[in-house]
Amino acid sequence: MTPQRVCVLGATGSIGENTLDVIARHPERLSVYALSAFSRIERLAQLAWDARAEVVVVPDDSARQRFAQAWPPGRKSPEVRVGAHALEQTAADANVTTVMAAIVGAAGLPAAMAAARAGKRVLLANKEALVAAGSLFMAAVREHGAQLLPIDSEHNAIFQCLPQTGREQAPVAPEKGVRRLLLTASGGPFRTTALDQLSAVTPDQACAHPNWRMGRKISVDSATMLNKGLEVIEAHWLFAMPVERIHVVIHPQSMVHSMVEYEDGSILAQLGQPDMRTPIAVGLGFPDRIESGVGLLSLASLGRLDFEEPDLHRFPCLRLAFEALAAGQAACIALNAANEVAVAHFLGEEIRFTQIAHVIEGCLNKLARQATPHLASLDDVLALDAQTRLVAREFCLVQ
Ligand code: NAD
Ligand code: MG
């Protein structure tokens, strides 16, 4: 077993910190080479100290200075690299074997793509990268012999429920014998809230997820269920599965992380505590099973597992995501970019919770009236992403 040297992109985030927790449990097989952060630079310094990182990547010179001030005086500092280009270079660095892509949003796409193009083992948490550039990303994985391991708990569960042979390459067709993928969703904090109260919910209420502790953006996405929509698109690319064979089922306890339904009538499910260290450990250890720090799930104390159909009237964002996937890549880019802008405005208390869906729908409708954009390269994707953000900001202003 060759030890892995890990680059954690987005180290100060919820996934980043959980990744460092798992890495620290396995010094014989895992070490940290590089960490990145966009804000909370003092926290980055602490994490880099604890993990003995050799490199850190920060966004600009002021962050570089903050890092230097936070570093213990007289102790050898990691090399500090600055800027978005340095992020891509570090993801592709020859010293790195494994990249945890845990930046939030399409901002993480170029670095995740750089890791794929450098043929790394890529642990993908950054679902927005696949939503915006699924076909380009999967092509890069295949062409450069990268190993892609899904970290999003649903996709990690599906990965575990699929046959474990022939997993070296990213699939180009659905796995033989599989009928459908069943993505579970908790329904978030507003699953049973009266519909007429949804327009008045606050960012803190939206971020109070019943089962998971996550960053604020994904927490709002879970409350609108746009997160599940992004995950449908993510599953489409990861498992080469047509949209009509991906089904969403509400499961409020979040103990079944997702399922694979086979032609013979079997459904295989993966269960466990709602703790991201399990999927992270699956990715870091694969094909071995390694300790994650997560306690066992007591089925008897859980008592029951509930399932129900999602209500697309309550969760219009989920409907919009299905529509975007059916419409094509440009619509998926617009869906994601519009959502990122709308969620930021909601978190800033500039628009209401229910207006997130209006902003996304407005952007998708506007895009549908235009000529189909040419999307052959990463630059094309990023250009449409930027263009949609401008439109989405206008929609936010008039809400
Ligand atoms: P978070 O907000 O807690 O952390 C985000 C990280 O990205 C931070 O380190 C931040 O500094 C960095 N970052 C933010 N903006 C950046 C930018 N413009 N450029 C470079 N770095 C930037 O987010 P999170 O909850 O850890 O989620 C990270 C990703 O993982 C998201 O794509 C999310 O959808 C996905 N994910 C998270 C969870 C979870 O449990 N938190 C579960 C499944 C998938
Ligand atoms: Mg998920």
CATH of the domain at 50: 3.40.50.720
- The answer to whether residue 239 is domain-embedded is no
DSSP-derived secondary structure for 142-155:
HHTT-EEEE-SHHH
- The answer to whether residue 123 is domain-embedded is yes
- The answer to whether residue 156 is domain-embedded is no
Residues 59-79, mean pLDDT to the nearest whole number: 97
Residue to mutate (ligand 1; options 14, 85, 347; most atoms within 8 A of CB): 14
Of 202, 206, 225, 208, which is closest to residue 311 (Cα–Cα)? 225
For ligand 2, the distance from its centroid to the CA atom of residue 104, given in whole angstroms, is 13
Q: For ligand 1, what atom is nearest to the CA of residue 103?
A: 7
Considering 119, 150, 181, which residue would you say is the last residue of a domain? 150
Q: Look at residue 183 in the predicted model and tell me its pLDDT.
A: 98
Q: Look at residue 290 in the predicted model and tell me its pLDDT.
A: 98
- The answer to whether residue 353 is domain-embedded is yes
For ligand 1, the distance from its centroid to the CA atom of residue 11, given in whole angstroms, is 9
- The answer to whether residue 105 is domain-embedded is yes
Alpha-carbon distance of 382 to 378, in angstroms, equals: 6
Considering 123, 150, 177, which residue would you say is the last residue of a domain? 150
Number of domains in the chain: 2
DSSP 107: G
Q: Look at residue 133 in the predicted model and tell me its pLDDT.
A: 98
pLDDT tier at 168, thresholds 50, 70, 90: confident
pLDDT tier at 254, thresholds 50, 70, 90: very high
* Upstream peptide bond of 287 is cis (omega within 30 degrees of 0): yes
Of 29, 81, 51, which is closest to residue 288 (Cα–Cα)? 29
Task: Kindly list the distances between the CA atom of residue 100 and the CA atoms of 13, 135, 207, 274, in Å, as whole numbers in the listed order.
Answer: 12, 20, 24, 19
Q: For ligand 1, what atom is nearest to the CA of residue 129?
A: 32
- The answer to whether residue 220 is domain-embedded is no
Q: Which ligand sits closest to the CA of 336? A: 1
- The answer to whether residue 382 is domain-embedded is yes
pLDDT in tens, 72-112: 999 999 999 999 999 999 999 999 999 999 999 999 999 99
Strand partners, 30: 4
For ligand 1, the distance from its centroid to the CA atom of residue 380, given in whole angstroms, is 23
- The answer to whether residue 163 is domain-embedded is no
Q: Look at residue 2 in the predicted model and tell me its pLDDT.
A: 81
Q: For ligand 1, what atom is nearest to the CA of residue 12?
A: 9
Q: Which ligand sits closest to the CA of 103? A: 1
Mean pLDDT of the chain: 96
CATH of the domain at 347: 1.10.1740.10
Considering 85, 120, 150, which residue would you say is the last residue of a domain? 150
The span from the first CA to the last CA of the chain, in angstroms, equals 56
Range(s) of the domain holding residue 397: 328-399
pTM comes to 0.97
